[in-house]
Amino acid sequence: MIAESLYQELILEHYKHPQGRGLREPYDAEVHHVNPTCGDEVTMRVRLGDGGKVLDVSYDGQGCSISQAAASVLHELATGSTVGDSLAVVDEFTRLMQGRGQVEPDEDVLGDAVAFAGVAKYPARVKCALLAWMAFKDAVARSSA
């Protein structure tokens, strides 16, 4: 069963118990991204501090387990990190997702996000996994602008 490789325990855990969910104040930028093909959506806020520190990533949204778990994992990875480091993770995650299952993920960079490797084999679901991560990138760009 292929589904087993898609629905990793870690993904299901984050879906059932999302980390850092809910929109919080204060924030520097807020973005709203949707995936028109399936209606998944996420609203994301970032709060940056001195030295490019990511003080908070807060979000709310609705959608499938992949999109919601991806937002939760992103929150964990980015909060407390720096803009530079977190964007490096976003880049590596994007590379993995767009690799059609052919890309060897860099676990050191990705941490827990490596659980999404199986999603890359499902072109229809790649956008679900990327939704929150693209929103984060967008929000960071807007708050540094």
Partner 1 sequence: MTETLFDVERIRKDFPILSRELPGGRPLVYLDSGNSSQKPLQVVNAMRDHLEHHYSNVGRALHVLGSESTEAYEGARDKVAAFIGAPSRDEVVFTKNASEALNLVAYAFGNPLAEDERFRVRPGDEILISEMEHHSNIVPWQLVAQRTGATLRWFPVTDEGRLDLSGLTELVNERTKIVSIVHQSNVLGTVNPVAEVLARARQVGAVMMLDASQSVPHRPVDVAALGVDFVAFTGHKMVGPSGIGVLWGRREVLEAMPPFLGGGEMIEAVWMDHSTYAPIPHKFEAGTPPIVEAVGLGAAVDYLTSVGMDDIRRHEHELTEYGLAALAEVPGLRVLGPKTAEGRGGTLSFTLPEVHPHDVGQILDDAFGIAVRVGHHCARPLHLRFGIPASTRASMYLYNTTDEIDALVRGLHHVQKVFG
Q: Which is nearer to partner 1, 66 or 77 (CB)?
A: 66
Closest distance between partner 1 and the C-beta of residue 18, in Å?
Answer: 12
Closest distance between partner 1 and the C-beta of residue 144, in Å?
Answer: 32
Buried-exposed string 83-95: b where 16+ CB fall within 10 A, e elsewhere: bebbbebbebbbe
Closest distance between partner 1 and the C-beta of residue 15, in Å?
Answer: 8
Alpha carbons 62 and 34: distance in angstroms, whole number: 10
Q: Which is nearer to partner 1, 95 or 122 (CB)?
A: 122
Closest distance between partner 1 and the C-beta of residue 138, in Å?
Answer: 22
Q: Which is nearer to partner 1, 58 or 68 (CB)?
A: 68
Q: Which is nearer to partner 1, 42 or 54 (CB)?
A: 42
Collapsed DSSP state (helix, strand, coil) of residue 25: coil
In degrees, rounded to 5, the angle at the alpha carbon of residue 46 between the alpha carbons of residues 17 and 140 is 120
Alpha carbons 116 and 74: distance in angstroms, whole number: 12
Residues lying near partner 1 in the complex (CB under 8 A) are found at 1-3, 6-7, 12, 15-16, 37-40, 62-66, 68, 122, 125, 128
Collapsed DSSP state (helix, strand, coil) of residue 21: strand
